[in-house]
Amino acid sequence: MKSTIENTVKFVKEKLEGAEAGHDWYHIERVWKLSKKIAETEDCNHDVVELSALLHDIADPKFHNGDETIAPKIAREFLEEQQVPEDVIEKVLFIIKNISFKNRAEAPAELPIELKIVQDADRIDAIGAIGIGRTFNFGGFKNNPMYDPEVQPSLNMSKDEYKKSNGTTINHFYEKLLLLKDLMNTDKGKEIAQQRHDYMLGFLDQFFKEWNVD
């Protein structure tokens, strides 16, 4: 499977060349490394974890008009070319389809450990210093306001409302990022997330001090 992992890395790098900076190869690489780190503490299929981490954002729906069928199709075609066993392909596709924050209400109650690991890694990369950088980068990419005191965070959004949301970047912390710590699945994920969560709280305190100049 080592050669398959190497081929997957090459494939993903090529596929995501020129991608938005918060969802590019470096995001994938960080999630991959975090997934391997968390997997060391769990009883899991490491091949499924690595392949899922590498392919989880191969065609992020938000950059494809919300189409959630493209990524599984691309992943299946690639894995079949690599002659990956069908049972492994099915597990990887299941993770790709169910990893997203916006899809959490639709996910099965019982999740495989491999999904829990990759999901934790992906969510961890959305918080802390990296998460702050990614959030402001994407907000700029979408030309969203950085902050507007008159616009309150929209909590408890439905999936469709979340997908269509063009709120402020600061509101995104309250609508998603600050919620992720309590959604971690694994002990290692919780440990890493807590430190990054605390860092974001410090950042927000400083942000509002600087915004609200007396």
Q: How confident is the model at residue 159 (pLDDT cuts 50, 70, 90)?
A: low
Whole-number average pLDDT of the chain? 91
The amino acid present at 61, given as its one-letter code, is P
| pLDDT one-digit tens code per residue, 59-101 | 776 766 667 889 999 999 999 999 999 999 999 999 999 998 8
* Topology, domain 2-211: Hypothetical protein af1432 (1.10.3210)
User: Are the C-beta atoms of residues 62 and 141 closer than 8 Å to each other?
Assistant: no
pLDDT in the model for residue 156: 73
Helix (H, G, I), strand (E, B) or coil at 120: helix
pLDDT over 60 at 154, yes or no: yes
DSSP state of 24: S
Angle, alpha carbons 27-33-39 (nearest 5°): 130
| pLDDT one-digit tens code per residue, 181-198 | 999 999 999 999 999 999
pLDDT in the model for residue 160: 60
- Percent of the chain whose predicted confidence (pLDDT) is above 70: 91
What region does 168 belong to: left with phi over 0, alpha with psi -120 to 50, or beta?
Answer: beta
Does the predicted TM-score (pTM) go above 0.75? yes
Residue owning tokens 């639709």: 106
Helix (H, G, I), strand (E, B) or coil at 184: coil
| Rg of the chain in Å (alpha carbons) | 17
